[in-house]
Structure 1
């Protein structure tokens, strides 16, 4: 009877360890997918931004659309910064948060310029939004390795 209890105890420990490991893998996969989605959203934002900004120089409706696009990206940034990364992804996450803070700062600067009526294409270049997103994309390989 004692052997049965020992076997059940060992099996329970193995099962619980396996569940924990599986949860860790699922957490890593979910984080990798979320981070890739975030980087892809930021990339799309950066690709569309120059044309939208150019149109916004002389078009009030485009300026409103640009302002909305900037605010939407700020929301995405804040959502991502609040996400929890699994231990295995902490370095990549911290880099992404740092780039996200730079991106948010550039967006804040652009929004302030629009609000003050100072908008022109040179101001967009000064915010370095597109460069920051390009740097974020460099982390994508690290993130994709979590998902494989």
Structure 2
């Protein structure tokens, strides 16, 4: 009887351990999907914003659209930073959140310029925004490897 209980205990531990591994794998895949989606949005943002800044110089509606886009990106940053990363992805998540802090700061600076009536698209190109988005999107390969 003692032997059966021991075997049952060992089997239970193996199953529970296997469940933990499976859960970690699922969490990694889920995180990789969220991170990839976020980085796709950041990349799209980087593609769209320069033209929006050009248009904002002469068009009031384009100014509002640009401000809306900048504020929406700030919200995307906040939402992603609150994402819980699995242990296997903590380093990558920390890198992304560091880039996000720089991106958020660049957006704040650009919004302040807009508030002060400075609609110069060169200010956007010279800001940390575009450089940081490029750095962010360079992490996509690392994130895709989480799913493998």
Cα distance between partner residues in 1 of 2:20 and 2:128? 42
Cα distance between partner residues in 1 of 2:17 and 2:128? 46
**What does residue 120 of structure 2 align with?**
120
Deviation at 1:131, TM superposition (A): 1.5
Q: Is the 8 A contact 2:29 2:147 kept in 1?
A: yes
User: Which runs of 4 or more aligned residues in structure 1 lie more than 3 Å from their structure 2 counterparts after TM superposition?
Assistant: none
**What does residue 48 of structure 1 align with?**
48
Unpaired runs of 5+ in structure 1?
A: none
**What does residue 95 of structure 2 align with?**
95
**What does residue 107 of structure 2 align with?**
107
Deviation at 1:126, TM superposition (A): 2.2
Q: State how 1:21-32 maps to structure 2 within 5 Å.
A: 21-32=21-32
SS across alignment from 2:83: coil
Q: TM-score, normalised by structure 2?
A: 0.96
Cα distance between partner residues in 1 of 2:55 and 2:138? 29
Deviation at 1:85, TM superposition (A): 1.1
**What does residue 138 of structure 1 align with?**
138
Could you say what the CA RMSD is over the residues aligned between the two structures, in angstroms?
0.9
Deviation at 1:90, TM superposition (A): 1.4
TM-superposition CA deviations, 1:69-124 (whole Å, max 9, x none): 00000000011111111111111111111111111111101111111111111211
Cα distance between partner residues in 2 of 1:3 and 1:87? 36
Cα distance between partner residues in 1 of 2:110 and 2:147? 35
Q: Which moved more, 1:10-19 or 1:116-125?
A: 116-125
